[in-house]
A and B are shown apart, each in its own frame.
Chain A
Amino acid sequence: MTETDAGQMVDTGQIAEKIADSDLQSGPDGTKEMGRSRRRKEDAKLITGQTTWTDNITLPGLLHFALLRSPMAHAKITRIDVAAARELPGVIAAFTGAELAGELGSLPNAWTVTPDMVSPAHPPLAVDEVRYVGDAVAVVVTRDRYSAADALEAIEVEYEPLPPVTDLEAALADGSPLVHSEKGTNRCYDWPFAAGDYEAVKAKADVVLKRRFIQQRLIPTAMEPRAVVVAPIAAADEYTIYSATQIPHILRVMLALTTGIPEHKLRVIAPDVGGGFGSKLNVYAEEVIALILARKLGRPVKWTESRSEGFQTTTHGRDQIQDIEIAATSAGQILGLKVDLLADMGAYLQLLTAGVPILGAFMFPAIYKMEAYSFHCTGVFTTKTPTDAYRGAGRPEATYAIERIIDELAHELGREPMELRKQNWIKHEEFPYDTICGLTYDSGNYEAATEKAMGLFDYDGLRREQAERRERKDPIQLGLGISTFTEMCGIAPSRVLGSLSYGAGGWEAASIRMLPTGKVEVVTGTSPHGQGHVTSWSQIAADALGVPFEDVEVIHGDTDSSPKGMDTYGSRSLVVGGVAVHHAAGKVIEKARRVAAHLLEAAESDVEFKAGTFSVKGSPEAKTTIQDVALATFAAHNLPDGMEPTLDSDYVFDPENFSFPHGTHLCAMEVDTETGQSKIRKYVCVDDVGAVVNPLIVEGQIHGGLAQGIAQALYEDCVYDAEGNLLTGTMVDYLIPSAADLPTFITDRTETRATSNPLGVKGVGEAGCIASTPAVINAIVDALRPSGINDIRMPATPERIWRALQESATAGSATGGAQ
């Protein structure tokens, strides 16, 4: 137990203790797997080092390749010579971009957000011009990784520098140097959206506040670096691609489209994958190069990035300038919101680069009711690494801006920030609620989550302490930050995605295979890389089929064994793929019911199924188990006339709505006004992700999301200099927080079931990351308000806080103010 500031004893292990309880039972109601904190089936191999990471794969005759990368942000390649590299011992081949251009094609982008979007060619190996530091210009293929590093040294390249383009606003100015001169502009697209008449509501508003927030560029940094291995059967022109990817199924389609190799000649395997966070939701140059080299050389090839190489070439996240304006009455009613975004695409469009800010467009109004909303996003090319999805993808940016400006509005109006939120949010009884953006939030209870969070946080007690510290001018000031967030996730309804010009659908596939011995194989189209799908899908299938959890195996990540899928991103796996498993199991039961009825000599309508047993209504002794039915179906000696001898079933689920988890996050920050050092005193969040399959896994997802969101607020910053050099190019310079940099989080849940799927589940993978960033910054700003500070740029480093305090003090003394 922990003593709170008010002297109250609070159990800081809310979830942990419940997990301990729930795991002692067979399930909360004595039978169900759903809601039970099963320890993960995945762990055994991971904990003992028996994991198959892509870089662990070795094959007879395996070659390694390495890429020579541009040290310049923007330049013409005036000369490139790989001849000396070819002569080195152990070098099998070396190629320039020009030599492979005809075979490599152009990397795909799958989200043309407007019909007139500027979409430049994206050669996997640059041919005559490089456009960011890290753009690859040549490849060497060698017998081991050390020879590859040596061979890169022997390649000669001469560059003629071209002007870099690093600033978003300058990039749009007349006369700016161009990233793609043939396109005549750095403007990738303009994407407007409007609902209601914002100018009209602005005209009647008592208060109009405008703020500019900067979403700094981030580097996703999955712990496993990217890697790819391609094994050819040259004689048959067939290829197996192993890749550290989140999207084996999409990758297969895209590699076929990019290279012209027929899709049915490609098998893509995502072996054990060590995290992704959006950075492995892509079709990368190295994957295409590996495939083409394997075809050209007829031998298996491998590439593994070094971390520093990955920082330059694996997609980055965020990087937006947000101009946001809010119009409200003096009584605090929000009337409208206007958002203008500049979004950095980087040098090229990767798979979803252009669409990421659009995913955020619908989330700026968040949980608040309003009459009008105006949004405009301009995508901009710069000579930097391309951006793309990073945990939350558009929604963290939107949540940050709205939750920050709500606090600014509260300050302007002299209102308590939580009270202002309550006044404007969608009430529990108003669900389902059609938002200003045209989304239908199916369910939610912001009041319940907030009440629980405020209790755990001791909100009132901390406010009293804050007042005391302010009163006595304590150098350590206390700030309280709120984030009452929601998000749209479970990237799903195919029709809606089509209306946004997204390049694919959002369904997910599942198959159930009933084995003769009564064991079960679940085949899923999701592609887990840390999320625990094997465990959670086992729980879903065990409940639906009435079989033991241990009797279920989950197969994924191989287009041969799980041929159909849309993969894992956007907090979609459970709400689309997990629900597909549930539906596929339902089809198995219906087939098995027919067999059971036949075996029990009863009418099908009289056969009931419960907990793995079929029984005849009114004759409880007449029964058979799902396992016996599976064996009888395998034997097929005595099946109903005309019945196909199988219980196996497929289901493809395409939900009609997104998923809208929500939650209340509260952060208390102590800020040392003499040094600028800040410290998280307490972090409480109560998330509502609907019904929960495995509380332990859900809590873990929240923890990890919190860490990444807090890291954006306090630590992480991907910095380029004016010449386009990546200054934070290694883990030395880019601060991934360690255990010593983060507190223990106090997490809890409320459960408001989703109405868009039969399990009542909502997405959880991105929630913590989306919610936490504004909670931290709101807390820091709240601590600094007495010093006249109303914003702090992320990451809020001690230096930035200290400088803000110095500037504020100077400005204050100049006008005769305090401090």
Chain B
Amino acid sequence: MTRVSMKVDGVTYEDDVEARRLLVHHLRDTLGRVGTPIGCDTSNCGACTVLLDGESVKSCSVLAVQADQAQITTIQGLAEDKTWHPVQKAFQEHHGLQCGYCTPGMVLAAVDLLNNNPDPTEDEVRHGLEGNLCRCTGYVNIVRAVLAAAAEMRGAGAGQAKSTVGVGA
């Protein structure tokens, strides 16, 4: 067992963990942060994506001990004072989710993408999210949502997006 300390969605937790324990299991089973789901066992699907010190990681591919001293944001901690993040708002507005299982990972991957590239093209969004699989939406509305969120986060109206899917370029 190793003692680890991490700040998850603003709360600091200290626990003894087995060296083999995956971060996602630590979040879900030990800390009860079950907003982060598990979709695969090969790090392909991205459903378990969280922000670790601001960068998106697949929490099934990180050991809990590797997250010692880290600051983690899950989907449950993304909204501030119950105000949804622009990406969350855009996912609802543009129907970027159906069953919602991929949504926590997809939203956090999109947040990271927009942090790195505030004004992406459609193609950059598609490639930027290729580590996150969705089986319901065919991605069209996810891409729309991310482009719309990008525009809002830049302070531009949706009409000023560099490229929006389906609404013209």
Interface residues of A (CB under 8 A from B): 1-2, 11-17, 39-40, 42-51, 53, 55-56, 58, 144-146, 221-225, 272-275, 277, 304, 306-308, 529-532, 696-697, 699-700, 703-708, 730-732, 736, 738-742, 744-745, 768
Contact = CB atoms under 8 A, between A and B. Distances in A.
23 contacts: A46-B103, A47-B84, A49-B34, A51-B35, A55-B34, A145-B25, A146-B18, A221-B135, A223-B47, A224-B101, A273-B99, A704-B98, A704-B136, A707-B137, A707-B138, A736-B133, A738-B130, A739-B132, A740-B129, A742-B138, A742-B139, A744-B122, A745-B138
A514 B30 CA distance: 42
B165 interface: yes
Contact of A223 (B93, B125, B135, B138): B135
B47 A48 contact: no
B99 to A, nearest CB: 3
Given A55-B28, A307-B45, 11 more contacts: A16-B144, A46-B103, A48-B84, A144-B29, A223-B136, A224-B37, A530-B99, A699-B95, A700-B141, A738-B126, A738-B133
Q: Which 8 pairs between the two chains have the least Cβ-Cβ distance? A: A49-B35, A46-B100, A530-B99, A274-B101, A13-B166, A707-B138, A703-B138, A49-B75
Contact of A529 (B75, B95, B99, B139): B99
A39 B95 contact: yes
Given A12-B166, A46-B97, A739 B37 contact: no
B167 interface: yes
Interface in B118-169: 122, 125-127, 129-144, 165-169
B84 A530 contact: no
A222 B130 contact: no
Contact of A738 (B76, B103, B131, B137): B131
A47 B25 contact: no
A13 B167 contact: yes
Interface string B105-127: 00100000000000000100111
A697 B165 CA distance: 17
Nearest to B87: A47
B92 interface: yes
A531 B133 CA distance: 18
Given A275-B135, A700-B137, A48 B75 contact: yes
Of A40, A273, A732, A744, the most chain B CB neighbours within 10 A belong to A744
Contact of A740 (B44, B126, B136): B126
B8 interface: no
A306 B25 CA distance: 13
Given A1-B168, A307-B40, A47 B103 contact: yes
- Most A-side CB within 10 Å, residue of B25, B99, B136, B166: B99
A500 to B, nearest CB: 29
A696 B137 CA distance: 12
B74 interface: yes
Contacts of B135: 221-223, 275, 277, 704, 707-708, 736
- Interface-centre pick from B25, B95, B138 (highest chain A CB count, 10 A): B138
Interface of B: 18, 20-21, 25, 28-29, 32, 34-42, 44-45, 47, 74-76, 78-79, 84, 88, 91-93, 95, 97-104, 107, 122, 125-127, 129-144, 165-169
B87 to A, nearest CB: 9
Contacts of A13: 165-168
Given A736-B135, A739-B143, A740-B127, A700 B45 contact: no
A258 B119 CA distance: 57
B165 A744 contact: yes
B140 to A, nearest CB: 5
A58 B134 CA distance: 26
Contacts of A225: 38-39
Given A16-B144, A47-B88, A222-B135, A739 B125 contact: yes
B126 A53 contact: no
Given A12-B168, A700-B137, A740-B126, A732 B98 contact: no
Given A12-B166, A145-B25, A731-B40, A274 B100 contact: yes
A145 B29 contact: yes
A746 B168 CA distance: 12
A43 B91 contact: yes
A222 B99 contact: yes
A51 B33 CA distance: 11
Contacts of B75: 47-49
A306 to B, nearest CB: 5
A730 B136 contact: no
Given A16-B166, A39-B95, A47-B88, A56 B34 contact: yes
Contacts of A745: 138, 140
A744 B167 CA distance: 11
A225 to B, nearest CB: 7
B102 to A, nearest CB: 5
Contacts of A740: 126-127, 129-130
A55 B38 contact: yes
Contacts of A700: 95, 98, 136-137, 141
A534 B99 CA distance: 12
Contact of A706 (B35, B42, B102, B138): B138
Contacts of A46: 97, 99-100, 103
B133 A223 contact: yes
A262 B120 CA distance: 58
A14 B92 CA distance: 19
B169 to A, nearest CB: 7
Contact of B99 (A11, A15, A224, A708): A224
A67 B131 CA distance: 30
A16 B127 CA distance: 23
Contacts of A697: 95
A730 B38 CA distance: 14
Given A12-B166, A146-B21, A530 B42 contact: no
A14 B127 CA distance: 24
A12 B164 CA distance: 10
Between B84, B101, B137, the greatest number of chain A beta carbons within 10 A of the residue's beta carbon is seen for B101
Contacts of B21: 146
A696 B98 contact: no
B166 A43 contact: no
Contacts of A529: 99
A307 B39 contact: yes
B42 A274 contact: no
B41 A306 contact: yes
Nearest to A44: B92
A46 B97 CA distance: 8
Nearest to B21: A146
B110 to A, nearest CB: 10
Contacts of B28: 55-56
A92 B116 CA distance: 49
B83 to A, nearest CB: 11
Contacts of B79: 48
B103 to A, nearest CB: 5
- Among B84, B139, B167, max chain A CB count under 10 A is at B139
B42 A47 contact: no
B99 A696 contact: no
Nearest to A50: B35
Contacts of B91: 43, 47
A50 B76 contact: yes
Contact of B97 (A12, A47, A145): A47
Contacts of B104: 49
A48 to B, nearest CB: 6
Contact of B100 (A39, A51, A306, A707): A51
B143 A744 contact: yes
Nearest to A696: B95
Contacts of A704: 98, 135-138
Given A223-B99, A223-B101, A707-B139, A739 B130 contact: yes
Contacts of A56: 28, 34, 37
Nearest to B99: A530
A732 B44 contact: yes
A748 to B, nearest CB: 11
